[in-house]
Amino acid sequence: MKIRTFAACVPVMLLAAALTACSHGDAGSGDADATLSYWASNQGASLDNDKKILTPELDKFTQQTGIKVKLEVVPWTDLTNNTLAAAVSGRGPDVLNIGNTNAATFESTGAFYAFDDAAFQKIGGKDRFVASALATAGVAGHPPTSIPLYSQVYALYYNKKLFADAGLQPPATWEDLVSDAQKLTDPAQKRYGIVIPGATVNSSMHFSFIFGQQHGGSPFDKDGKPTFTSQGVIDGVKQYVDLLSRYHVVNPSDAQYTDASQSAGEFAHGQAAMYMAQTSGINVLAQNGMTPDQYGIAPIPAPASGQKVSSFVAGTNISIFKKTKHLDAALQFVKFMTSSQEQEILNKAYTTQPAVKDAPAAFTDDKQKLDVFTQILADYAKPLPLVSGVQAYQANVGGAVVSLIAKAATGATISDGDVKVALEQAQQKMGAK
């Protein structure tokens, strides 16, 4: 019966792992001609785009060290699950990327190699890294289990032509953003003020965090206990959902977007005038046929009375599986990927911000865009809470926001009370652990 196999899929994996482990034997320590397997996250516009960017760099690494790298690009939707399965079965890649949101959660599983001071020496020292990026590497006070690779922040992308035609300036406050969006919305023309990835769980959590911070709300208290029903968090979620529910400046179809790249397409085709995305949006838009001169970048505005928070410190980290048989090779690989030279090349290709100080941010030739992103990272970005429950926070609060958006899309008006009930349930699920 399918359900039995389903319920038992983890043990089956374990058994399979145990059986194959016997035949594998000891690969030994001959790291010089070792082959590392590497799970790369999907940073580019497509999996192919990633392969094209990474392959020449990995070849360079093989030339320098003799270590081969077997690359597999994993879409974000699968990466967390696959990593979890690898952690459970003990059979995974040697090196892999994780979203820095999950760093604390994965650290709590104990599946990753912890970078102590000696390990940091081997990859070139702690001081090379940008402090705000390194702070996302794991719970404060512990040796981190991941190393920052690509840093990103959220910003507001706006369509220059649509704004110019309507005689509008990029919004400086959230109220401006809403009124601009209302002016730019024209359902008959299939054009809306702003696009949101309505059914995307992780993005929904991101926005609920950013807007919650604007209202002074925090999802966790000092002891790491969830505080989803604090007024600030509720107001933040309401602010986001209101775009669709109250102001109708979002195409209701957005409620079906399960992937953030779908909203990039809508913005690139001029069907939405604004788009909130991370730094890598530049690359994703380019792949969708929109050139950087067609859009401008501004910090995501806060309500006039709120706090100026535009983003959290987002990004991708690199980790080593604790059970790797090629630890030295893996450390060399991490050192290579975080070297100033590679950081410059890769972050330019992915249009992300380097995680090391020596590499200049060069993801765009447009000075204005570069400055805005740098300013957001320096002044308007708050770190996400580094607690082990952050993955559950993402699933529960992100999921709650997704269902609120779906309700709004199918015609319901979302009240403060609705938001509160949804967040209360999300919080109760955290307590059941």
- Half-sphere exposure for 395 (CA within 13 Å, toward CB): 12
Q: Which is nearer to other proteins, 94 or 342 (CB)?
A: 94
Is residue 218 within 8 Å of residue 232, measured between CB atoms?
Answer: yes
**Residue 89: other Cβ atoms inside 10 A:** 19
Piece in contact with other proteins (CB under 8 A), picked from 23-31, 124-132, 218-226, 386-394: 386-394
Three-state secondary structure call for residue 421: helix
Q: Which is nearer to other proteins, 132 or 403 (CB)?
A: 403
Q: Which is nearer to other proteins, 274 or 422 (CB)?
A: 422
Looking at 36, 40, 58, 87, which residue binds other proteins (CB under 8 A)?
A: 87
Residues 171-200 that bind other proteins (CB under 8 A): 199
Q: How far is CA 384 from CA 21, 147, 165, 271, 311, in A?
A: 38, 16, 38, 31, 10
402 touches other proteins by CB under 8 A: yes
Q: Which is nearer to other proteins, 10 or 304 (CB)?
A: 10
Q: Minimal CA–CA distance to 393: which of 132, 41, 101?
A: 101
User: Could you say which DSSP state residue 187 is in?
Assistant: G
11 touches other proteins by CB under 8 A: yes
Cα–Cα distance, 133 to 220 (Å, whole number): 21
Q: Which is nearer to other proteins, 90 or 270 (CB)?
A: 90
Q: Minimal CA–CA distance to 136: which of 354, 315, 343?
A: 315
- Smallest separation, CB 429 to other proteins (Å): 6
Looking at 47, 88, 135, 168, which residue binds other proteins (CB under 8 A)?
A: 88
Site string for other proteins, 307-326 (x = CB under 8 A): ---------------x----
**Residue 52: other Cβ atoms inside 10 A:** 12
Cα–Cα distance, 415 to 421 (Å, whole number): 10
Residues 248-307 that bind other proteins (CB under 8 A): 252-253, 255-256, 258
Cα–Cα distance, 184 to 181 (Å, whole number): 5
- Smallest separation, CB 427 to other proteins (Å): 9
> Which residues are bridge partners to 99 per DSSP?
316
Q: Which is nearer to other proteins, 78 or 358 (CB)?
A: 78
Three-state secondary structure call for residue 119: helix
Looking at 391, 404, 418, 419, which residue binds other proteins (CB under 8 A)?
A: 391
Piece in contact with other proteins (CB under 8 A), picked from 140-148, 278-286, 379-387, 404-412: 404-412
143 touches other proteins by CB under 8 A: no
133 touches other proteins by CB under 8 A: no
Q: What is the DSSP string of 46-92?
A: SHHHHHHHHHHHHHHHHHHHS-EEEEEEE-HHHHHHHHHHHHHHS--
Number of residues that bind other proteins (CB under 8 A): 49
Q: Which is nearer to other proteins, 39 or 350 (CB)?
A: 39
Residues 406-425 that bind other proteins (CB under 8 A): 406-407, 409-410, 425
Looking at 110, 125, 289, 383, which residue binds other proteins (CB under 8 A)?
A: 110
Looking at 288, 340, 375, 388, which residue binds other proteins (CB under 8 A)?
A: 388
404 touches other proteins by CB under 8 A: no
- Smallest separation, CB 431 to other proteins (Å): 9
84 touches other proteins by CB under 8 A: yes
The first and second tokens of residue 234, run together, are 């509720």
**Binding stretches for other proteins (CB under 8 A):** 1-12, 14-15, 81, 84, 87-88, 90, 105, 108-111, 199, 201, 252-253, 255-256, 258, 322, 388, 391-392, 395-396, 399, 402-403, 406-407, 409-410, 425, 428-429, 432-433
